[in-house]
Amino acid sequence: MAETVASLLAGHRSGKIAVADTVSRTFRRLRDADDPAIFISVRDEADIQAEARALLERDPDTLPLYGIPVAVKDNIDVAGMPTTAACPAYAYTPKTDAEAVARLRRAGALIIGKTNLDQFATGLVGARSPYGMPRNPLRGDLVSGGSSSGSAVAVARGIVPLALGTDTAGSGRVPAGLNNIVGLKPSLGLISATGVVPACRALDTVSVFALTTEDAFAALSVMAGHDESDAFSRRLPLGSIAAIPPALRIAVPRLADRIHFGDVQAEAAFNAAIELVRGLGATLVEVDLTPLFETARLLYEGPWVAERTAAVGDFIAKHPDAVHPVTKAIITPGADKSAVDTFRAFYKLTAYRGVAAKLFAGVDALMVPTFPRPVRAAELDADPIGPNSGLGTYTNFVNLLDLAGLAVPVALTADRTAYGVTLLAPCGRDAFLASLGGAIHSRTGLTLGALDTAQPPRAPPASALARGEIAIAVVGAHLSGMPLNQELTALNARFIGEAKTTPDYRLFALKTEPPKPGLLRIASGAGASIAVEIWALPAEGFACFVDAVPPPLSIGTLQLEDGRAVKGFLVEAEATRDARDISEFGGWRAFIGSR
């Protein structure tokens, strides 16, 4: 039976599952896995049991991760444990936890040990480590993915329900896809990188592996938040998992950009994912990914190689024989990059970011394969670079373009090959991606990781307003799928649900360009019930949104047929004199569809 964060948390809080027993099972599963390459170092079980006993003195309802076992990638500091970055000669023992780890501990999590990785987080295959290559638990002939290989395998095998990785070029997504688990790559700066060995410091982020999207987002919610000690930390809103709006627009690669290197199973898996998204009521928009692929080339051809050199180049120069030959071959050329190279690359990146902004202006998210095809371990003997590069086809551009990402499973074939998709959206849209990814994953009917255990039922998304949120009813171009909806989503609004007004309103098509609806309240019971969508906005976002509403529209209070009163769009009566009454359609979406 797979233990998720949600199921363990419920059991711990109710007393049906003892935290001490959870710790014992964790170590038993670690032994049963019989794979010494998963963890580089493991804490003493007795020490963790002592922490479990100490939790009994705490109120479990105040600890979001009460008694949850967590594995940590070994380029992230855990106090008292060596940080090796998979290079024994580099090892040091920190006195304090990385900020992300400290926040997990404060939430009640129990740190089990440090997991294996591609050395200095450079690679996507999981094979560039002196500690061995963790076995793919689904198919032993395939790589487990990297660089966060041990963390992904530990979750897929059910040793722990939660693990930290890092992600610079795909290290938190590719292993998730290859192991049939969820990989959450947060917006840059959302999680503190204090206490993390840098790869490309400007592009690095701590990532999360879990069996479900809800579990991954629970960990993100604990770790997210500004950190004064991290110069790259950003004050970003987070939000919460919400219902899926009824008229999403999801971008997918045009046919020419669906790269699978001849893997027919990979092609079928992505096509199946497209149908799953259509089943959610979304409109699919094919887009040209050429600018994104060109952006990806900057990562290993431009100054970001020099950023890797800045991180560990001095160590490599002093200890050349202590470094994996492939890792050394990738990092050391960065010393030859010039300031001129850097500025030319930044000019290109600025242009590519502009193109990407236009792409996302017309859609809610971009869905791509997590990787084109899986890689066999034997392939790396003949070519240690090429197969690795192929795995990064759909991941290398993401952090350069400042996107949030979420990798979710979509297929597990008869030969136990896992395939997944990655959902991408602009920085700050992490909660929306979790909402969408959870909905897609649940519709696959897949089992969890390598455990052959069914997914748990999804809890209904929260419909109540969170603290500091204000509900607003939209009736026209701000509806999901409509041209102005991104004015809401850019302010981190979340969809609450559909509703209807009381029959006290008339809806008009105003004589504006572009056409806009106007909702006018009239005598009680003399109008029609008009369809609206309810969105929740953070208070600051609500203020910005209201300030931008142009006349003759305004924000007033709407009465809904379910008894609620919410803020929403109304129109000045004068503006309806020459407007067409379209109340008979029952809403703006129905009217637009009739034209």
Phi, psi of 184 (to 5 degrees): -100, 115
In one letter, which amino acid is 484?
L
What are the beta bridge partners of residue 230?
none
Q: Which two tokens stand for residue 54?
A: 């100490």
Q: Taking Cα atoms as reference points, which of 434, 482, 480 lies closest to residue 458?
A: 434
Distance from C-alpha of 504 to C-alpha of 114, rounded to nearest angstrom: 62
CA distances from 168 to 55, 62, 296, 390, 398 (A): 35, 33, 12, 16, 9
Of 235, 281, 283, nearest to 498 by C-alpha is: 281
CA 452 vs CA 145, 183, 440, 448: distances in Å: 20, 19, 19, 6
Euclidean distance between CA atoms 11 and 376, whole angstroms: 39
SS3 of 385, please? coil
By three-state DSSP, how is residue 327 classified?
helix
Residues 142 and 162: their CA atoms lie apart, in Å, by: 23
Q: Which of 203, 233, 276, 228 is nearest to 437 (CA)?
A: 276
Sorted by sequence, the CB contacts under 8 Å of residue 338 that are 6+ apart come out as none
**Quick one: which of 365, 397, 411, 438 has its CA closest to 184?**
438
Radius of gyration of the chain (CA): 25
Close Cβ partners of 129 (under 8 Å, ≥ 6 residues apart)? 37, 86, 116, 117, 118, 119, 149, 324
Neighbour-count burial for 303-341, b at 16+ CB within 10 Å, e otherwise:
bbbbbbbbbbbebbeeeeeebbebbbebbbebeebeeee
Phi, psi of 209 (to 5 degrees): -110, 135
Rounded to whole angstroms, the Cα distance separating 299 from 293 reads 10
74-102 exposure pattern, b = at least 16 Cβ within 10 A, e = fewer: bbbbbeebbbbbbbeebeeebeebbbbbb
Strands 110-115 and 283-287: unpaired
Helices 213-223, 5-14: inter-axial angle, 10-degree rounding: 70
d(CA 215, CA 221): 10
Active-site residues, by number, are 73, 147, 171
The label of the residue with tokens 């259509």 reads 278
d(CA 141, CA 149): 15
